[in-house]
Amino acid sequence: MQDPATGKTRFVVVPASYVFLLREAAGGTGTEVLLQLRQGTGYMDGHWAAAAAGHVERGETAEDAARREALEEVAVADLDLSFATAMQRTAHDLPIDERIDFFFTARAWSGEPRIVEPAKCADLRWFRLDALPDPVVPHERVVLAGLERGDLAPLTHFGF
Protein backbone atom coordinates (compact mmCIF):
# COMPACT_ATOMS: atom_id res chain seq x y z
CA MET A 1 0.00 0.00 0.00
CA GLN A 2 1.41 3.41 -0.95
CA ASP A 3 1.22 6.38 1.42
CA PRO A 4 -0.27 9.25 -0.62
CA ALA A 5 1.54 11.88 1.49
CA THR A 6 5.06 10.45 1.20
CA GLY A 7 4.86 8.10 -1.77
CA LYS A 8 6.53 5.40 0.34
CA THR A 9 5.24 1.85 0.29
CA ARG A 10 3.63 0.75 3.53
CA PHE A 11 3.28 -2.84 4.57
CA VAL A 12 0.14 -4.53 5.83
CA VAL A 13 0.23 -5.95 9.35
CA VAL A 14 -1.62 -9.21 9.92
CA PRO A 15 -2.72 -9.84 13.55
CA ALA A 16 -3.08 -13.36 14.91
CA SER A 17 -3.89 -14.91 18.29
CA TYR A 18 -2.35 -18.07 19.74
CA VAL A 19 -3.42 -20.13 22.73
CA PHE A 20 -1.06 -22.44 24.60
CA LEU A 21 -3.11 -24.73 26.84
CA LEU A 22 -0.96 -25.57 29.87
CA ARG A 23 -1.30 -28.12 32.66
CA GLU A 24 0.82 -29.58 35.43
CA ALA A 25 2.57 -32.77 34.33
CA ALA A 26 1.75 -36.01 36.13
CA GLY A 27 3.52 -36.21 39.46
CA GLY A 28 4.17 -32.46 39.51
CA THR A 29 7.26 -32.88 37.35
CA GLY A 30 6.82 -29.71 35.29
CA THR A 31 4.43 -27.97 32.94
CA GLU A 32 2.94 -29.53 29.81
CA VAL A 33 1.65 -27.72 26.71
CA LEU A 34 -0.89 -29.05 24.22
CA LEU A 35 0.45 -28.92 20.65
CA GLN A 36 -1.04 -29.87 17.31
CA LEU A 37 0.81 -31.39 14.36
CA ARG A 38 -0.01 -29.21 11.35
CA GLN A 39 -1.03 -30.73 8.02
CA GLY A 40 -2.80 -29.57 4.87
CA THR A 41 -2.55 -25.85 5.70
CA GLY A 42 0.22 -24.79 3.32
CA TYR A 43 2.16 -23.21 6.22
CA MET A 44 4.61 -25.14 8.39
CA ASP A 45 2.90 -28.45 7.74
CA GLY A 46 4.69 -31.25 9.59
CA HIS A 47 5.56 -28.88 12.45
CA TRP A 48 4.13 -28.90 15.97
CA ALA A 49 2.29 -25.70 16.89
CA ALA A 50 -0.09 -24.12 19.38
CA ALA A 51 -3.24 -26.16 19.80
CA ALA A 52 -5.26 -23.12 18.72
CA ALA A 53 -4.25 -20.13 16.62
CA GLY A 54 -5.55 -17.95 13.84
CA HIS A 55 -6.08 -14.51 12.41
CA VAL A 56 -7.88 -11.82 14.35
CA GLU A 57 -10.99 -10.90 12.35
CA ARG A 58 -12.01 -7.30 11.66
CA GLY A 59 -13.77 -5.86 14.72
CA GLU A 60 -12.59 -8.70 16.98
CA THR A 61 -10.25 -8.33 19.95
CA ALA A 62 -7.17 -10.53 20.22
CA GLU A 63 -8.72 -12.22 23.28
CA ASP A 64 -11.97 -12.91 21.42
CA ALA A 65 -10.00 -14.38 18.51
CA ALA A 66 -8.09 -16.65 20.91
CA ARG A 67 -11.34 -17.91 22.44
CA ARG A 68 -12.96 -18.43 19.02
CA GLU A 69 -9.94 -20.32 17.68
CA ALA A 70 -9.80 -22.56 20.77
CA LEU A 71 -13.45 -23.49 20.30
CA GLU A 72 -13.08 -24.01 16.52
CA GLU A 73 -9.83 -25.97 16.63
CA VAL A 74 -9.85 -28.01 19.86
CA ALA A 75 -13.44 -27.67 21.19
CA VAL A 76 -12.62 -25.92 24.47
CA ALA A 77 -14.46 -22.89 25.86
CA ASP A 78 -14.52 -20.63 28.90
CA LEU A 79 -10.75 -20.27 28.76
CA ASP A 80 -9.09 -18.43 31.63
CA LEU A 81 -6.69 -16.55 29.33
CA SER A 82 -3.48 -14.94 30.51
CA PHE A 83 -1.56 -12.65 28.19
CA ALA A 84 1.95 -14.02 27.55
CA THR A 85 3.55 -11.78 24.91
CA ALA A 86 3.01 -9.82 21.72
CA MET A 87 5.47 -10.70 18.96
CA GLN A 88 6.39 -8.46 16.07
CA ARG A 89 7.40 -10.79 13.27
CA THR A 90 8.75 -10.27 9.76
CA ALA A 91 10.13 -12.17 6.81
CA HIS A 92 11.40 -8.94 5.18
CA ASP A 93 10.68 -9.89 1.57
CA LEU A 94 7.18 -11.32 1.77
CA PRO A 95 4.45 -8.70 1.30
CA ILE A 96 1.95 -10.17 3.78
CA ASP A 97 4.41 -11.50 6.32
CA GLU A 98 4.52 -8.50 8.65
CA ARG A 99 2.79 -9.90 11.71
CA ILE A 100 1.71 -9.00 15.18
CA ASP A 101 1.07 -12.20 17.12
CA PHE A 102 -0.73 -12.17 20.45
CA PHE A 103 0.18 -15.17 22.61
CA PHE A 104 -2.01 -16.31 25.49
CA THR A 105 -1.84 -19.18 27.92
CA ALA A 106 -4.74 -20.92 29.62
CA ARG A 107 -4.60 -23.30 32.57
CA ALA A 108 -8.37 -23.63 32.98
CA TRP A 109 -11.13 -24.23 30.41
CA SER A 110 -14.24 -26.27 29.87
CA GLY A 111 -14.39 -29.25 27.55
CA GLU A 112 -11.87 -31.94 26.67
CA PRO A 113 -9.43 -30.84 23.95
CA ARG A 114 -9.83 -32.86 20.77
CA ILE A 115 -9.08 -32.60 17.07
CA VAL A 116 -11.94 -30.74 15.40
CA GLU A 117 -10.31 -30.14 12.00
CA PRO A 118 -8.64 -33.44 11.01
CA ALA A 119 -7.75 -32.11 7.56
CA LYS A 120 -5.50 -29.49 9.24
CA CYS A 121 -4.35 -31.37 12.35
CA ALA A 122 -2.65 -34.77 12.15
CA ASP A 123 -2.15 -35.16 15.91
CA LEU A 124 -2.79 -33.42 19.22
CA ARG A 125 -0.51 -34.21 22.17
CA TRP A 126 0.73 -32.92 25.52
CA PHE A 127 4.47 -32.24 25.81
CA ARG A 128 6.56 -31.01 28.71
CA LEU A 129 7.88 -27.50 28.10
CA ASP A 130 11.39 -28.82 28.75
CA ALA A 131 10.95 -31.71 26.26
CA LEU A 132 9.30 -30.26 23.16
CA PRO A 133 9.02 -32.32 19.98
CA ASP A 134 10.90 -31.49 16.81
CA PRO A 135 10.15 -29.58 14.72
CA VAL A 136 8.11 -26.81 16.36
CA VAL A 137 7.10 -23.72 14.34
CA PRO A 138 10.18 -21.51 14.93
CA HIS A 139 8.54 -18.34 16.24
CA GLU A 140 6.32 -20.39 18.53
CA ARG A 141 9.38 -22.24 19.87
CA VAL A 142 10.78 -18.85 20.96
CA VAL A 143 7.65 -18.18 23.04
CA LEU A 144 7.58 -21.71 24.47
CA ALA A 145 11.25 -21.42 25.48
CA GLY A 146 10.50 -18.14 27.27
CA LEU A 147 7.56 -19.75 29.07
CA GLU A 148 9.75 -22.67 30.13
CA ARG A 149 12.53 -20.39 31.41
CA GLY A 150 10.05 -17.99 33.03
CA ASP A 151 11.61 -14.93 31.39
CA LEU A 152 9.22 -14.22 28.50
CA ALA A 153 9.16 -10.47 27.79
CA PRO A 154 5.83 -8.70 27.15
CA LEU A 155 7.11 -7.72 23.68
CA THR A 156 9.17 -10.14 21.61
CA HIS A 157 10.52 -10.07 18.05
CA PHE A 158 11.23 -12.67 15.40
CA GLY A 159 12.90 -12.38 11.99
CA PHE A 160 14.72 -9.10 12.52
**39, 117 contact by CB (below 8 A):** no
Domain residues for 141?
13-158
Domain count, the chain: 1
Within-domain flag for 144? yes
- Strand, helix or coil for residue 74: helix
DSSP 58: T
What pLDDT shows up at residue 13? 85
CATH of the domain at 102: 3.90.79.10
Asked if residue 1 belongs to a domain, the reply is: no
- How much is the CA Rg of the chain, to the nearest whole Å? 16
Whether residue 50 is contained in a domain is answered as yes
In this structure, are residues 137 and 159 in contact, taking their beta carbons and an 8 Å threshold?
A: no
Cβ–Cβ < 8 Å for 47, 132: no
Q: Rounded to an integer, what distance in angstroms lies between the CA atom of residue 59 and that of residue 63?
A: 12
In a domain, 80, yes or no: yes
Q: Is residue 36 part of a domain?
A: yes
| pLDDT tens per residue across all 160 residues of the chain | 666 777 777 777 889 999 999 999 988 889 999 999 999 999 899 999 999 999 999 999 999 999 999 999 999 999 999 999 999 998 766 655 689 999 999 999 999 999 999 999 999 999 999 999 999 999 999 999 999 999 999 999 998 8
- Tell me the sheet residues that pair with 59: none
Residue 7 lies in a domain: no
* pLDDT value for 1: 61
Model pLDDT, residue 98: 85
Q: Which amino acid is it at 111?
A: G
pLDDT for 94 equals: 64
Distance CA 16, CA 4 (A): 28
81 inside domain: yes
pTM: 0.92
